[in-house]
């Protein structure tokens, strides 16, 4: 009953935001009138409350102009009820403010027996009308801002896609760039939302959108375009779209035993053997055939970029068979890895049907207390706080990796930090074994070493160039990512440890600056394959024509790493 016009206007804003669309001014006006009608119904009691509360009564009388018409629920009903005959046409002919004028100035609409005092109500009405005008103007302004934001987002998205297409055309072989773009987009999105004090939800979205980033491009391939016109933040839809499009791509070239499950697109099955699971498998053959330079399918296919997600390995000391990261996992396989007597276990996230996130858990061959957990993929569901902490950690680390912050020169600059290790469970002292079948860039968060703290070990893919952004390696990296074993503890303290790492990585302002620089480097100039990163000097040079690509691995050590330290 006591809702004020300002609240009403805010409701209108909220409604607009909820719908995510920008409604017309007429619609807004109609909403306002609807509110008036609704309030009338409630305020009728106030009007009859009597004389002792004249101020309130006057206000209520003002709103009660159409109380007799009822306060139905549906908009059209309200519109008819409120507008009625003359007011309907009047509203159509004029603009925002007329409804109120009609309500307040048309004597024909006044209820019988309405005790208008003449002077005070008029003054009050003028004030209220002015307030409404002001709020309406503010509403318009906010709507305009929302439109502008939407346009900017669309433009940014389009630019990114265009840049990706151009780069793909320029290269003789497709570049795995989408993870990076996804990270950038989502980071930007997160930063945008962070200002709204929605950081947790934003991080969840960020993590989910990591997987979403490939959807548009894949859609261009499988659907012949069109899907990309929806930079909608609808995460679930995006993920579903990605899955469907992946299925489409895979189904087009599926063979062997995976064919049936992939072609079983009806979605009737569920669980780990469902098509959704299979959809997340990386159809390397399909992608590479699609992206083959010999393909003559046109620009759409040429624009397709293979999606190769980054992996994040977390090395911890734990006696438990698996670290507790807050997610629910189901083991779907176990394999003896070469060079390690300890079997490697494969897990899938079971917190949501179709969640593509997988992880591998393996103990160190020589130090059984060291557990290496490798995460891959992006959750398509909200995460509990504990899982969010880990997700933040891994996503931030992946973002840092994908931002190309480490080079071989970094290793030279930090020789003590060079820590060759197989990312899949081998011990630090064992020789690094490159898996030819796992061309994923991998970040390893080493939380086991007392001194060297957290290390980000980047293993460039053996066969596929990995794009780097123009990021000064050390300057923009978090300076707080120095966690010793004493700091983080063992085993059961993994959760807090992860949170600490997460906070260190994500809260660093330099990292934010790095993100901005990364976006600028993408938006500022088209990608070019001519530029290569040969060291920190080239990465720190300002504004070359686009982010260069990392040279092929033969020119780089099999692994490179950077130790982040505040020393």
Partner DNA sequence: CGGTTTTGACCGGCGC
Partner DNA sequence: GCGCCGGTCAAAACCG
Residues that bind DNA (CB under 7 A): 255-258, 260-261, 271-273, 277-278, 281, 284-285, 288, 328-339, 344-346, 350, 358, 360, 424, 433, 435-439, 462-463
How far apart CA 298 and CA 63 sit, in angstroms, is: 63
User: Rounded to the nearest whole angstrom, what is the least distance from the CB of residue 253 to DNA in the complex?
Assistant: 9
Q: Report, in Å, the least distance between residue 290 CB and DNA.
A: 11
Nearest distance from residue 391's CB to DNA, in Å?
A: 19
Comparing CB distances to DNA, the nearer of 338 and 567 is: 338
Only one residue has tokens 């600028």, namely 520
Per-residue DSSP letter, 532: B
In angstroms, rounded to a whole number, what is the distance separating the alpha carbons of residues 443 and 311? 6
Compare residues 50 and 271 and give the one whose CB is closer to DNA. Answer: 271
Q: Which is nearer to DNA, 185 or 445 (CB)?
A: 445
Closer by beta carbon to DNA, 296 or else 437: 437
Residues 6+ apart with CB under 8 A from 389: 326, 495, 498, 499, 502
CB of 530 to DNA, least distance (A): 25
The residue to which tokens 């086991």 are assigned: 448
DSSP 552: P
**Is the Cα dihedral 97, 100, 102, 105 positive or negative?**
negative
Per the CB < 8 A criterion, the answer to whether 19 and 150 are in contact is no
**Structure tokens, 319:** 């006696």
* Minimum distance from residue 552 beta carbon to DNA (Å): 11
Q: Which is nearer to DNA, 365 or 396 (CB)?
A: 365
Judge whether 329 and 249 are in contact, CB under 8 Å: no
Burial of 313-324, coded b for 16+ CB within 10 Å and e otherwise, reads bbbbbbeeeebe
Residue (121 or 377) nearer to DNA, CB: 377
The SS3 assignment for 248 reads: helix
CB 380 within 8 A of CB 490: no
CB of 555 to DNA, least distance (A): 15
CA 212/CA 235 separation, integer angstroms: 7
Closer residue to DNA (CB): 224 or 260:
260
Query: With respect to DNA, which residue has the nearer C-beta, 128 or 337?
Result: 337
Shortest distance in whole angstroms from residue 423 CB to DNA: 9
Residue 281 Cβ, how far from DNA at the closest point, in Å? 5
- Nearest residue to 163 (alpha-carbon basis) of 529, 497, 481: 529
Say whether 467 sits in a helix, a strand or coil: strand
Give whichever of 41 and 356 is closer to DNA, judged by the CB atom: 356
User: Beta strand pairing status for 329-336 and 343-349?
Assistant: antiparallel
Query: Smallest distance from the beta carbon of 292 to DNA, in angstroms?
Result: 11
Q: How far apart are CA 469 and CA 454, in angstroms?
A: 22
Minimal distance in Å, beta carbon 550 to DNA? 17
Phi, psi (deg, nearest 5) at residue 317: -100, 120
* CB-based contacts of 5, cutoff 8 Å, min separation 6: 128, 131, 132, 135
Q: Which is nearer to DNA, 432 or 516 (CB)?
A: 432
- Asked if 146 and 17 touch (Cβ cutoff 8 Å), the reply is yes
């Amino acid at each position: 009953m006591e809702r004020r016009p300002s609240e009403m206007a805010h409701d209108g804003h909220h409604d607009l935001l909820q719908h995510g669309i920008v409604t017309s001014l007429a619609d807004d006006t109609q909403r306002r009138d609807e509110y008036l009608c609704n309030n009338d119904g409630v305020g009728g009691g106030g009007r009859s409350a009597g004389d002792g509360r004249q101020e309130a009564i006057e206000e209520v009388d003002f709103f009660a102009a159409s109380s007799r018409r009822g306060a139905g629920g549906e908009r059209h009903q309200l519109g008819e009820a409120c507008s009625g005959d003359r007011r309907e046409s009047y509203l159509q002919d004029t603009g925002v403010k007329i409804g109120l004028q009609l309500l307040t100035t048309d004597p024909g609409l006044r209820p019988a027996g309405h005790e208008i005092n003449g002077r005070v109500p008029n003054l009050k009405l003028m004030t209220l009308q002015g307030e409404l005008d002001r709020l309406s103007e503010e509403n318009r302004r906010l709507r305009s801002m929302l439109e502008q934001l939407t346009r900017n987002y669309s433009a940014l998205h389009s630019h990114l896609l265009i840049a990706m297409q151009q780069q793909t055309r320029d290269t003789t072989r497709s570049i795995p760039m989408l993870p990076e773009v996804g990270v950038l987009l989502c980071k930007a999105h997160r930063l945008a939302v962070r200002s709204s004090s929605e950081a947790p939800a934003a991080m969840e979205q960020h993590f989910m959108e990591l997987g979403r980033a490939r959807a548009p491009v894949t859609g261009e391939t499988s659907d012949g375009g069109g899907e990309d016109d929806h930079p909608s933040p609808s995460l679930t839809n995006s993920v579903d779209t990605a899955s469907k499009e992946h299925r489409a791509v895979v189904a087009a070239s599926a063979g062997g035993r995976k064919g049936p499950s992939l072609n079983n697109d009806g979605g009737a099955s569920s669980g780990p053997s469902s098509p959704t699971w299979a959809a997340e498998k990386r159809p390397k053959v399909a992608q590479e055939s699609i992206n083959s330079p010999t393909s003559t399918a046109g620009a759409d296919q040429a624009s397709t970029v293979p999606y190769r997600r980054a992996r994040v390995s977390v090395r911890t000391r734990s006696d438990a068979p698996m670290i507790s990261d807050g997610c629910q996992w189901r083991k779907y396989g176990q394999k003896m890895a070469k060079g390690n007597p300890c079997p490697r276990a494969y897990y899938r996230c079971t917190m949501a049907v179709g969640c593509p996130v997988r992880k591998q858990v393996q103990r160190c061959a020589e130090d059984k207390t060291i557990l290496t957990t490798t995460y891959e993929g992006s959750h398509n569901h909200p995460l509990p706080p504990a899982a969010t902490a880990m997700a933040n950690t891994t996503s931030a680390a992946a973002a840092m990796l994908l931002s190309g912050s480490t080079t071989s020169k970094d290793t030279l600059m930090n020789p003590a930090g060079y820590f060759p290790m197989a990312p899949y469970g081998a011990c630090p002292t064992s020789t690094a074994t490159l898996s030819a079948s796992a061309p994923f860039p991998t970040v390893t968060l080493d939380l086991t070493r007392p001194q060297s703290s957290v290390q980000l070990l980047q293993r460039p893919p053996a066969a596929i160039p990995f794009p780097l952004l123009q990021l000064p390696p050390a300057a923009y990296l978090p300076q707080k990512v120095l966690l010793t074993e004493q700091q983080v503890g063992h085993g059961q303290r993994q959760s807090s440890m992860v949170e600490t790492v997460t906070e260190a990585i994500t809260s660093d302002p330099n990292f934010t600056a790095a993100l901005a620089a990364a976006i600028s480097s993408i938006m500022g100039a088209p990608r070019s394959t001519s530029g290569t990163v040969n060291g920190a000097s080239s990465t720190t040079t300002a504004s070359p024509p686009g982010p260069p690509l990392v040279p092929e691995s033969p020119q780089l050590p099999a692994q490179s790493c950077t130790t982040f330290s505040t020393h």
